[in-house]
Every structure is written in structure tokens, then in C-alpha cells.
Structure 1
Amino acid sequence: MASKIQVQKIATLTGHRDCVYTLEKSSDDNIFFSGAGDGMVVAWDLTQPENGELVAKVTSSIYALRYVPDRNLLLIGQNQEGVQVIDLNNKQILKSVALPKVAIFDIVYTLDKVFVAMGSGAVCVLNGQTFELETIIRKSDQSARSLAYNKYSNELAVGYSDNVVRIFDATSMAVKYELKSHTNSVFTVAYTPDGKLLLTGSRDAHLRVWEVEQQYKERGYLIAHMYTINHIAFSPDGRHFATCSMDKSIKVWDAETFKLLKVIDKVRNASHGTSVNKLFWSAHKNQLVSCSDDRTISVWDINLGSSYEDYTIRDQAKNV
């Protein structure tokens, strides 16, 4: 049965002069940030999306941003340079944290720690209050590409370019589990809002689902895209999630059944013409935001229906 989800492009946001690599929320549902290869960080307002506001300009490309809600700060991963801490109240640099001169692929903030995924394979741990570097954990000689924190289990999931997802105790940084089903770099990891499942996406185009409370036993997988899965984002109510890919498409899924609900692409929806790099699913009118190598940001109105595509997760027992 065809999906009844209606998708409409609300706006195309332009202004970046290079690939847009990352999107990040703020404390306001209608405000989000973008970071790009041009070194610019821009704030956008979904109530008047045409007008972006420059927040910061750094000297190298930006793959990672992270918002600190209790202090209204924005952490900028400046490739080859480290992390810039921006005070959004006055748009001043509060601190510059020097890190090894490699790419910064992801940043996660908890109340007492900041974790930074590095191109060297390291995960840098910063103090969550002072942002001073506390330690560097290196469990692979290939890039640490993606991070996710589970507040219920106090675990940090890290996806690496050696195809492995490593689960760390977020306090001791001891490795608890190594998940080795992917056959290429793991570009995105995301816990479900209730913390019970971990979703991982890779350059192998597979989306894999892991049972957190069963010592990360693999529930199953989907061949979700034609090429690399770049990012996974959950809807504000946690009932759906979206994936985006190097294959230029965005897909919307049911988070309980893992059935495909909608494909958003260039032919059907005038979507991006190149790789879709990151998603932000806002509680503002349930709008989904995507960014791309085509230098644009798209805003989508997602009107959820009740029917599903016949596209179900494969039971792991049948994959032998």
C-alpha cells in the first residue's frame, strides 16, 4: 500500500559558498544552525527562513556543531584547529580548545563531558564546564566518524572507519562492546529516544538495529539506501526517523516497525542534486531540514499519514 505521507518543500536556504555538512538545533524549536566547508556558521529561523544570520566564521571547514542548552553556547568543530566555544548571547568566542590537527567529525555534549570524534581515530574528552581537554582515547587508527550518547545507560556509541561500532562506558571510557557487522565506515549512530535501541548507518548502505538492553544483540538490518547513509534523525515524538544518503535521497521510516514511509528525492520532490549530509527534525510544525553538498538547505513539511510501504526489517536469524 502506498504511503499517505505528504511532503512539501517549504523553503530552500542559500548563502553558504561550499558544501553544507552539518545542522544543529538550538533551545528554540524554530532556530537551528548550519556549518559548511566555507567556515561559516549560520543561524536560521524557520518562521522566516529566507534570512540567515552569520554566527561565526572560522578558517577551515566545519563538519560538526553541538549546542549547549543550559548555557546557550555553540561548540564548533573547526577542522585541523580544534573546538571553538561560541557564546551565542554576544556572538563572542568564549574559548578555543586546541586539539590534534585533524578533521573533527562529530561532537556530543553531556552535562559533565564533551566528546569529540577525530579523524585520527581518537575520541577527545573535554570537561563539560571548562571545556579543558581531559583525555584522548584511541581505539582505532582509522577515523572516529560518529557519536551518540545514551543517558539511560551512560554509554557512548562511536562509529569508526574501521567498520566497527564501539560502545564505551561514558565515565571510565572503557570499551564495553564492539559491534562488527558493518562492512564499511560507520558514518552515523543514533539511540532511540527511549535509549533501548541503537541504530547505525554505514558506507555499506546498511541500517543496523541493536538491542541495548540485550548487550547490543543485533535485531536485524535494512539495505536502506543505494549508497552511504550519512545521518539518522528522529522525529520530535520519537515515532519516526529519517535517513539521508550520498544517493541524494531522504527516507522517512516508522521507528517501531522500521517500515519505509516516504522517499524524498530530486525527481519526486525537487530535492537535493548531490549528497544529503545531515538532517534536523524540528518540533516547529514537524518540519524536517536537510543540507547537502549542493550548498543548499531544504525545509520540508512532513504531514504523516497512516499507511506504510511494504519494506520491513530483515530478521537477523534469516541472514545466515
Structure 2
Amino acid sequence: MGKVNVSKLKTFTGHNDCVYTLERTQYDHIFFSGAGDGMVVYWNLEASENGQLIAKLPNSIYALHYMQSKNLLAVGHNYDGIHIIDWENRKEIGSLKLTDEAIFDIQSYHDFLIIGDKKGTITIVNAGDLRVVYKIASADYSARTIAINKTLGEMAVGYSDNKIRIYSLEDFELKYEFKAHDNSVFTVKYAPDTQFLMSAGRDAHLKIWDSKAGYLLLEDIVAHMYAINHLDFSPDGKHFVTCSMDKSIKVWDNNSFRLLKVIDKARHAGHGTSVNKLLWSKYDNLLISAGDDRAISVWDIQFNN
């Protein structure tokens, strides 16, 4: 493995249940978390104190999405729908009863919110008036993860039927459909240069697809021991990280797809349970991780060339 130095700078606590999601903002030092306790919390990387409660909902939260143009936070509230939060004033300004199922992911494109749920439905919502404008029902299995590629005008969705489906962002028509994994797809993300789509899931495999060649499979890596929950890229695009139910975080080279570092409890005082979400911040290049242990950890990762 390469020479990578990792140190844990701090641990944020305050959630009373598993932390399922993290979301960045236009301010590099500020991010949000959502958890099984229904709490949405604001965190400041410049501060040492714990976070501030933005919203408290009755059910668990798997999905958050920050709308930069409006400076608002969309919250996916399981078994209920979405809530739009003016986070600076800690006030809900709108809500939409979408589904009585879990909401797994929220992304946006132009003025649309794109929401994936347990029924396998992708719902397109006008973010201005919270009006449903389109629904995609291509599968009877959960739509777990959504990635937007503005350059190609495409949207990738990973499902629990082991498939990835690629839709046009112009008319939301299906363009590609392929079996991607041997089990549920938990995370899809386009590389910063949009050349590659990365996917991972319950089968613990990391796969790299050439998005400009009809999603040709380029790499199939057995990356973890158990399910891979999420991945994220470094701000400079040179590296990426994966996290898993096996309690570890792994750091990879984004050019060679080579494993560089394993961050775990034994060696780095990492998470003691499943690691659910990652956020690689532009603020001092810090990596943030969240897990079933209710903790949010902040990591300093230094690459020695």
C-alpha cells in the first residue's frame, strides 16, 4: 500500500441512534447529518463543540439533500415524504407526502428534486412548489442510490434487484439497464471527470463502469468483507474512499484503483460498527464518516509522495 498517514481529529456525538447520512453545503466547514432518531443536525468543522439541532422528525432519516441555489435542506422522512428546512432559521417551510415507504436518496437537477424510495419509484418534484411532475417506476425493488451526471445528461440509479438503470435527464426515459452486482446496489457515484461510474453494494464488490462507452465494465474489485454502504471522492479527484458494514473505511487511488489505506478500529480508533456514510470535505481536505455507533468521526488524511 502507498504511504498514507491517517489521524482522527475529533468525534462528534449527540445522535441517539444510527447515523445514516451526511450532507455537504456550499460552506466547506458546515455539514448536516440525519439518523435513526429522526434528528437533523448542523455541524461546524471549525468548532469543537457538538452540533445544533435543525429539525426533529418522528421517524428515521436516510436521505438529506442540500439545495445550494435556495440554501435549503430537503429531508427524506421515512414513511412520510420530504420536508424542506430553512436550516439557518431552523424552520420547516414546506412538506410533501410522497410515500408511506422509506426514502433512500435525494438528489437534484436544475429545479427538480429526484427522490428514490423503497417501492422502487423515482419521483421528480418541482422544488419551487413541491409539485410531483414525473414518476419512474422501472422496478419493484428499492431505488437505493442516485447519481447525476450533468455532462452526459444522465442519471444512474442503483436498485435492490441488483441492477443499475441509466435515465436521460432530459425526458427521464430509460437509456441503459444492466445487472451490476450479485445483490442490492447501495451506492453509485460518477467520478469528478464523469468518465467513470462507480458502484458498490451488498456483495462487497466495487465496480467501475465506463460511462462514455455504454457503461462497459472496466474493473471488478472485491473491496470489503461485507456490504459496501457508500463511497466518496477527494476534493481534488485523485482519491476515493469506501465504507462498509465490515466497520472499515478504505482509501483508494482514483487512477490505478489501488488500495492505499485501511482505516479501522484496531489501528486508528475507527468505528466499532457498520460505517454508513462518507463525506470528503474541501475544508482542510478532512474526511467525515458516520456509522451505526451513533458517532461522526473527522479524519485528517495525508498523502506522502
Normalising by structure 1, report the TM-score: 0.94
Once the two structures are TM-superposed, the CA of residue 3 in structure 1 deviates from its matched residue by 2.4
- Structure 1 residues 49 and 161 mapped into 2: Cα distance closer, same or farther (>3 Å)? farther
In structure 2, distance between residues paired with 1:136 and 1:175: 12
SS at match of 2:267: helix
In structure 1, distance between residues paired with 2:180 and 2:209: 11
Paired residues of 1:110 and 1:128 also in contact (CA < 8 A): no
Normalising by structure 2, report the TM-score: 0.98
Match of 1:22 in 2: 21
Match of 1:10 in 2: 9
Match of 2:114 in 1: 115
Once the two structures are TM-superposed, the CA of residue 168 in structure 1 deviates from its matched residue by 0.5
- Structure 1 residues 49 and 132 mapped into 2: Cα distance closer, same or farther (>3 Å)? farther
Matched, 1:214 2:213: yes
Match of 1:44 in 2: 43
Once the two structures are TM-superposed, the CA of residue 220 in structure 1 deviates from its matched residue by 1.6
Q: Which amino acid aligns with 1:147?
A: I
Paired residues of 1:19 and 1:295 also in contact (CA < 8 A): yes
Paired residues of 2:13 and 2:50 also in contact (CA < 8 A): no
SS at match of 1:267: helix
Match of 1:77 in 2: 76
SS at match of 2:76: strand
SS at match of 1:101: coil
Alpha-carbon displacement from aligned partner over 1:119-164 (angstroms, at most 9, x marks no partner):
0111111113323211221111110000000010111100000000
Paired residues of 1:23 and 1:279 also in contact (CA < 8 A): yes
Match of 1:150 in 2: 149
In structure 1, distance between residues paired with 2:8 and 2:36: 24
SS at match of 1:238: coil
Counterparts of residues 202-281 of structure 1 (less than 5 Å): 202-281=201-280
**Structure 1 unaligned spans of 5+:** 307-320
Match of 1:173 in 2: 172
Match of 2:191 in 1: 192
Once the two structures are TM-superposed, the CA of residue 177 in structure 1 deviates from its matched residue by 0.5
Alpha-carbon displacement from aligned partner over 1:32-88 (angstroms, at most 9, x marks no partner):
000000000001011114320111111100000000111110000000010000112
In structure 1, distance between residues paired with 2:39 and 2:20: 11
In structure 2, distance between residues paired with 1:197 and 1:49: 37
Matched, 1:61 2:60: yes
In structure 2, distance between residues paired with 1:131 and 1:149: 20
In structure 2, distance between residues paired with 1:179 and 1:193: 23
User: Aligned residue pairs: how many?
Assistant: 305
In structure 1, distance between residues paired with 2:211 and 2:183: 22
Paired residues of 1:111 and 1:128 also in contact (CA < 8 A): no
Match of 1:309 in 2: none
Paired residues of 1:162 and 1:184 also in contact (CA < 8 A): yes
**Structure 2 unaligned spans of 5+:** none
Q: Which runs of 4+ in 1 moved over 2 A?
A: 128-131
CA RMSD, Structure 1 to Structure 2 (Å):
0.9
Match of 2:284 in 1: 285
In structure 2, distance between residues paired with 1:40 and 1:128: 22
SS at match of 1:273: coil
Query: Taking every aligned residue pair, what percent have the same amino acid on both sides?
Result: 52
